[in-house]
Structure 1
């Protein structure tokens, strides 16, 4: 099975969901026109890291965001890994990934587990209590948000559960972009799966972001990468390659889970 994925490597207007919703709608339409079957957005594409105003900006239960992504997906007949968005869940503020299928149905919701203290997430947000695994376009998949990729044991859990594609969405700063590239390749190699990673570009008042959205195959080869400017990053993923590589080096059969 082959699927064409598109990562929307976009700038994000700080603290202005209305502008960002409009821009995402246009980007998604453009991605469909170049053949995308699965579209991936970056982390916090709706608000950016305007954490001080999350209590004002966050979407209650992510209702409006889910409706927006669902309508887009249904109208354009495309699956969307909706990056992540600012969500108000009761009294809690969360950084939440939303995934919709081509019929506009919400198939997955995951709030970021690992909060990044260097960008003050722990002061403003609540960790999620969701698992990252889901099925999209008939593919066993999992979704992770930015800092999550520094926790290999979290991602390995999804690989053991059968994930063949891991989606990563981020606002990864430019000064550590070499870590981003290396970690993504490592996660692909050790889990023998595709990594489809979408990072934003541009800047906010405190950070500059590095782009380099990429697809990494199960052997660790970079299939495509996006540089550091706004663009749609396209790639084909060939799911048969996952089974082929997993049959060559049997890490899932050979691991000693009782020891670690």
Structure 2
């Protein structure tokens, strides 16, 4: 699988412009041979635009997902539609299974190249430090995986990186790759460099950590989207400017590393 991490320039609350940038990045990545494109956390609204969450919330299959799904089909590429702020009541009204009857969630959706929805992941660990996320959103309770491009793919979101038990659950479900849409801000650059790499090392799998490129009123994102291999070696990375990062992620490599270094078999 050729994985592309679309480190988007994100404007606070500029939903149409932000989604248009995402669609453009999907087209660019597909032209460069990507099989799967991952977008950042709350890429359409901007993570730190808390005052806009309720107004910009959408159900599953809403306008943002419609445009991303159409781009996936048009360009014949799988897309992790980063995350959006999901209106759970509207999703429930449409017949979707949701963790609460009402409220908002930080929700990732993975579309395949046919536009089929392969998984829905709602962020489990909501950030409360210097952030309104934990006050505004409802946590998820499901941890799905999907088979894609020879990989078993899982998704976690940003702050979830600090909770390694979540990744061990994904490993137990066969995951060979975890995609991590994020909105990681300064000054915690070293944490952003350390935690995805640690998850790759301890779980012997690929980690694609995709961040945004943005400056909000009270925060700036560190960028530095990176793909790590099952040894924790960075295969491709960026600085903090908007760009697309590419890496080839061979699913057989996961089996080779786990056979060579069988730490997962030594768990007690």
**TM-score interval for Structure 1 and Structure 2 normalised by the shorter chain:** over 0.9
Contact 2:150/2:251 (<8 A) preserved = no
For residue 69 of structure 2, give the secondary structure of its aligned residue in structure 1.
Answer: helix
Q: CA deviation at 1:135?
A: 2.0
Say if 1:88 and 1:62 are closer, same or farther in 2 by CA, change over 3 A.
farther
Alignment of 1:1-260 (within 5 A): 3-49=1-47, 50-90=49-89, 91-118=102-129, 119-256=131-268
Q: Which sits farther off after the overlay, 99-108 or 8-17?
A: 8-17
Contact 2:104/2:137 (<8 A) preserved = yes
Q: CA deviation at 1:202?
A: 1.9
Contact 2:9/2:18 (<8 A) preserved = no
TM-score, normalised by the number of residues in structure 1: 0.94
| Partner Cα separation in structure 2 for residue 187 and residue 41 of structure 1 | 20
Contact 1:62/1:88 (<8 A) preserved = no
Q: CA deviation at 1:31?
A: 1.1
For residue 201 of structure 1, give the secondary structure of its aligned residue in structure 2.
Answer: coil
Q: CA deviation at 1:70?
A: 1.5
Count of paired positions = 254
Gaps of 5+ in 2: 90-101
Q: CA deviation at 1:48?
A: 0.6
| Partner Cα separation in structure 1 for residue 24 and residue 202 of structure 2 | 36
Q: Which sits farther off after the overlay, 66-75 or 40-49?
A: 66-75
Contact 1:101/1:137 (<8 A) preserved = no
RMSD between aligned residues: 1.2
Gaps of 5+ in 1: none
Q: Structure 1, residues 9-34: CA drift from partner, whole Å, max 9, x if none?
A: 11211112111111111111111111
| Partner Cα separation in structure 2 for residue 62 and residue 175 of structure 1 | 35
**Runs of 4+, deviation exceeding 4 Å:** none
Q: CA deviation at 1:88?
A: 0.5
Q: Which sits farther off after the overlay, 11-20 or 100-109?
A: 11-20
